[in-house]
Structure 1
Amino acid sequence: MNLSEFDPRAVLALGTLAAYLIGSLSFAVIVSRLFGLADPRSYGSGNPGATNVLRSGNKGAAVLTLLFDALKGYVPVAIAQSWGLDALTVTAIGLGAFIGHLWPVFFKFEGGKGVATAAGVLFGFAPALGGLVLLVWLGMAVVFRYSSLAALSAALSAPLIQCLGWGWGPATVGCGVMSALLIWRHAANIRKLLAGQESKLGQKA
């Protein structure tokens, strides 16, 4: 699609808004309803995300939540890339989807922590970037069995990997913003980790 005839500021604003609305689809809640499960905001950590859905004991629901949460970050960025939009607009669209997950307009602004959606955005920026950050997450998750610790490690690594691999630019700033928000959203998990009270992967609510 040729968007050169449109005002770049309008494309940035509308693209970011559309991505935010897509990000506002809380698939943890949607999938749980389809599976007849309790609202994930009502048990465990109270976080509407795949890790908490897993605490329901339904692995299929957790996998679908993870997949769709990642796709809602990846698809808007991939479309923006395929349309040849500039790096700033692509980054803004990625951030729009991520912020939509954190504060979803369709679910009273009660969103998740954004790990899967951020991963989708990173894969949209560059598949190799998403893959390397995912390896950091997997390594920490396998060794320590704490999803939150794995997420924090991946969040800290993302801006560094982006900058070292692709140079400084809007995507580096976008990675930094997502990382800062991810760490902030994990404040309670950090306190639990330090106190030795954090739940491990797969532990039921």
Structure 2
Amino acid sequence: MKVFVFIIIAYLLGSIPSGLWIGKLFYGKNLRDYGSGNTGTTNTFRVLGAKAGIVTFILDCLKGTIATSLPIIFHVTSVSPMLIGVFAIIGHSFPLFAQFKGGKAVATSAGVLLGYAPIYLIFLLLIFGLALYLSSMISFASVTVSIAAIATALFFPAFHFLLDSYDLTFTIIVVAASGLIIIRHIENIKRIKNKEENLVPFGLNITKQHKAK
């Protein structure tokens, strides 16, 4: 019964459209009408600015962390905390409170890892930061870190590096969540290939995207 309650709470937490609500309440803007139309952290940064973007990232990240922590907090050992965290990712991607049209789940997925494997998350954040600096694209960094997560979740346990041993549930969830992130970035990948992707105002832009006027 507790596990079922955790799943419901995790999904409802994930369904909170932080960026969408912040835009409407504090800026009088509906994120769906601007930029990419996405309600996640990246479009919030682009449309509402750094302050709103940072708050959205933190809130979206916390959704995953709180969900993942529920079994730990209530000492329930019959289910992996990662499995509960998955439902926050699902909620963020297909939110009940936003017509089931959500974000790309990068921040919420990071929050799940923060609650379960924080050292591993730090490693992935370093990759994300490096990819962002080199490319000047959040989308490029998100896809790069997702590919890195898949590869490292499969191979690091064999060398006992950052991940001590194989955990089938952890591996499946990391691979599946990373795959979902990549799939949800297909349009961004197309724009990158056409050198038309949106850039952040820093970094090297090594792929020579054409900056939006």
Task: Assess, with a 3 A threshold, how the Cα gap between structure 1 residues 127 and 190 changes in structure 2: closer, same or farther.
Answer: same
- Give TM-score, length-normalised by structure 1: 0.88
Select 2:12's aligned residue among 4, 21, 30.
Answer: 21
Task: Assess, with a 3 A threshold, how the Cα gap between structure 1 residues 85 and 159 changes in structure 2: closer, same or farther.
Answer: farther
After superposition, residues 49-128 of structure 1 pair within 5 angstroms as 49-86=40-77, 88-128=79-119
Unaligned runs of 5+ in 1: 1-9
CA distance in 1, matches of 2:180, 2:48: 28
CA distance in 2, matches of 1:85, 1:130: 23
Task: Read off the aligned partner of 2:173 and give its amino acid letter.
Answer: G
After superposition, residues 111-150 of structure 1 pair within 5 angstroms as 111-150=102-141
CA distance in 2, matches of 1:87, 1:136: 33
Task: Give the stretch that moved more between structures: 149-158 or 50-59.
Answer: 50-59
Corresponding residue of 1:171: 170
For residue 156 of structure 1, report the CA deviation from its aligned partner: 1.3
* 1:152 lines up with 2:143 in the alignment: yes
Structure number with the bigger relative contact order (C-alpha 8 A, sep ≥ 6) is: 1
Task: Give the stretch that moved more between structures: 156-165 or 72-81.
Answer: 156-165
What is the CA RMSD across the aligned residues, in angstroms? 1.9
CA distance in 2, matches of 1:201, 1:120: 23
Task: Read off the aligned partner of 1:199 and give its amino acid letter.
Answer: N
Task: Assess, with a 3 A threshold, how the Cα gap between structure 1 residues 179 and 36 changes in structure 2: closer, same or farther.
Answer: same
For residue 122 of structure 1, report the CA deviation from its aligned partner: 1.0
Task: Read off the aligned partner of 1:167 and give its amino acid letter.
Answer: S
CA distance in 2, matches of 1:16, 1:88: 11
For residue 123 of structure 1, report the CA deviation from its aligned partner: 1.0
CA shift digits 1:17-43 (9 cap, x unpaired): 210110000001111123224111111
- Give TM-score, length-normalised by structure 2: 0.85
Q: Is the 8 A contact 1:122 1:129 kept in 2?
A: yes
Aligned-pair identity in percent equals: 30
Task: Assess, with a 3 A threshold, how the Cα gap between structure 1 residues 204 and 119 changes in structure 2: closer, same or farther.
Answer: farther
How many residues end up aligned between the 2 structures?
A: 196
